[in-house]
Amino acid sequence: MDDLARRQLASIAEVVEVAASAAVPVWLRGGWAMDFQLGEVSRSHVDVDWYCWRADADRLAALLLARGWQPDPRMPVWNQLDLFAAEVEVSFAYLGRDDSGRPTVGAGPWAGTPLPAGILDAPPGRIGPLVVPTISVPAQIEFKQMYPVWMPERPRRPKDADDLARLRVWPRRADPRTPRP
């Protein structure tokens, strides 16, 4: 594991600690969510992606900024919360709710769009001793499959195809909460 991956894992642990201490729910998404469900680091990651409720974002930002995290001035905070910690890029996409309480996209041009059923119902993922809430594997698969359809300007990348192959065999793997030898 390289130095960036170690720093990313440290940032994940810190987010989990800070969020839990403030009763702010967060869910890992993207490549790191896949790795935590698989129980191992499968590839290099550019950044660490999370979800949080839009209503909790300002409080979460204040807690992380108080610990020395820095805002990313390139990204508009009304779309998502983007921060840096130890040169690790971390983003929190906002969640909203529809009238029946189901999770929706919480900001930006897709605000109000329903998210996949069961997205927040996954068991926590684990890498070594670190246990982290993640979005569900079926939601991860749907996102990886649909991004090129939803956003034609973002074609499927080779890493997306590799991730899909890993995620599709996930149910046949050992329980991700069980530590690996």
Label residue 172 by pLDDT band (50, 70, 90).
very low
Distance CA 141, CA 171 (A): 12
Distance CA 129, CA 126 (A): 7
Question: pLDDT per residue over 15-56, tens digit each?
Answer: 999 999 999 999 999 999 999 999 999 999 999 999 999 999
The per-residue pLDDT for 59 is 97
Label residue 174 by pLDDT band (50, 70, 90).
very low
pTM > 0.85: yes
The per-residue pLDDT for 151 is 66
Using the Cα atoms of residue 155, residue 169, residue 181 and residue 11 in order, give the sign of their dihedral.
positive
90: β partners: 48, 83
Question: pLDDT per residue over 54-106, tens digit each?
Answer: 999 999 999 999 999 999 988 888 889 999 998 899 999 999 999 999 999 99
Tell me if 72 sits within 8 A of 80, measured CB to CB. Answer: no
- The domains located in the chain, with CATH, are 3-172 (3.30.460.40)
The per-residue pLDDT for 148 is 63
Question: pLDDT per residue over 118-165, tens digit each?
Answer: 999 999 999 999 999 999 999 988 887 776 666 667 777 778 778 877
The per-residue pLDDT for 171 is 62
Distance CA 83, CA 139 (A): 24
CA distances from 59 to 19, 78, 87, 92 (A): 10, 14, 22, 12
Question: pLDDT per residue over 51-65, tens digit each?
Answer: 999 999 999 999 999
The per-residue pLDDT for 169 is 82
The per-residue pLDDT for 152 is 67
The per-residue pLDDT for 167 is 80
